[in-house]
Chain A
């Protein structure tokens, strides 16, 4: 599984950092960072939640 974020769409709402803090982080510069681009399958339900809750639809998961 691979996480793809469209940084043109991302507005740093940060809801993904609440859903999956292991994977997403917003740093003091205000930008989103992906801590692990190929996380374990066990995180999939939380990652699905991050996809659903992103207000700008910026996150995708690829098999």
Chain B
């Protein structure tokens, strides 16, 4: 067991919360300092691009815990404060409020921030969606906008588009790839998702690049590189995220599109682990390093990371995980499990791609690599369990 007396968790979102909870659940009774950059009490992000944008939930409802709900964790929660530097030799952390915080163990869970579109700084009506404040600003903008252009057909962009349609706005999505989500779920199923949006009167422009976003003070139009001009009174940018790692510069902690971790989610620096969107770890199940920006990974990885921190590598389990995510768009639920490449073969095993109810499997070199379900929740998780066993796809296809 550990000799730690003081553990600092940096990051006030899901991975940070689950790290704090995991430490206490494992019986750690030393001091826990929990640092969150945002001023709000910790909240859940998936509802931001769904229930919050639709106006179904108020901000309060996204909170993980209500009121004084953190009392049982006996945690020193410091909100609205950033970590600015870490010195692993003296085991001390510098914060944006000027304080220094010594630690024995450190959990890095700083997540990521939304990538902005170049040249839009200071232009009103251009938003990204990462934080609660972002979601509330977009929701307010829906009220006074008629035409929205969404840049990027990733999950955030598609969910924003679906909410905007539900709120009665005219919606255009601009995507550089051949199909939405093509890199994540492959072209065939990306094409299916594209049809889902076009069937609901969304204008989805693929293989198009945004050249610039124009307007005096407030956005007026989005100009594409082929010369097309799209008038817009609201622009939402969903072109990915950047891991929050700048504060680790000079610390000796290896950073390469995320904090580099081993299979146990530990960095090469003693006493420092990482979890959630910020962590790039070696997943033994897929024999590759990956950084996964999804809810379920944050939960699972935080649990592994604190186990590794307290128990050491010999006693802890590695983070062997089949990535899982979901997306709600219109009345449709998309669920995905696995790790696929755009060239993987696709096998429809239930329903039909002509409809909005189906399950499709992916395979590469004959091995099952992933599964995607549209409005078929009963089956997806069974396949998630199977994918962990890396079977031959022929053995799981229905006969």
Interface residues of A (CB under 8 A from B): 11-15, 17-18, 26-30, 48, 52-53, 55, 57
Q: How far is the CB of A46 from chain B (nearest CB, A)?
A: 13
The 4 closest A-B pairs by CB, nearest first: A14-B381, A12-B377, A26-B378, A18-B381
**Inter-chain contact total with CB atoms closer than 8 Å:** 45
* Cβ–Cβ contact A13 & B300, under 8 A: no
* Cβ–Cβ contact A12 & B378, under 8 A: yes
B384: A residues at CB distance < 8 A:
18
Closest chain A residue to B46, Cβ basis: A55
Q: Does B341 reach chain A (CB closer than 8 Å)?
A: no
| Secondary structure class of chain A's binding surface, majority of residues | loop
* Cβ–Cβ contact B296 & A53, under 8 A: yes
Q: Could you tell me the distance between the alpha carbons of A55 and B46 in the complex, rounded to whole angstroms? A: 9
* Cβ–Cβ contact A52 & B18, under 8 A: yes
Q: How far is the CB of B67 from chain A (nearest CB, A)?
A: 16
B296: A residues at CB distance < 8 A:
15, 53, 55
* Cβ–Cβ contact B381 & A17, under 8 A: yes
* Cβ–Cβ contact B324 & A15, under 8 A: yes
Q: Does B200 reach chain A (CB closer than 8 Å)?
A: no
Q: Could you tell me the distance between the alpha carbons of A45 and B21 in the complex, rounded to whole angstroms? A: 14
Using an 8 Å CB-CB cutoff, how does the interface string of B345-388 with A read, 1 for contact, 0 for none? 00000000000000000000000000000011110111011000
* Cβ–Cβ contact A14 & B380, under 8 A: yes
User: Restricting to B226-267, which residues have a CB under 8 Å from any CB of A?
Assistant: none
Q: Does B330 reach chain A (CB closer than 8 Å)?
A: no
A57: B residues at CB distance < 8 A:
44
Q: Could you tell me the distance between the alpha carbons of A24 and B380 in the complex, rounded to whole angstroms? A: 15
Closest chain B residue to A19, Cβ basis: B381
Taking a contact as CB atoms closer than 8 A, the residue among A28, A30, A52, A55 that contacts B326 in the complex is A55
Taking a contact as CB atoms closer than 8 A, the residue among A15, A28, A52, A55 that contacts B378 in the complex is A28
A29: B residues at CB distance < 8 A:
378
* Cβ–Cβ contact B385 & A14, under 8 A: no
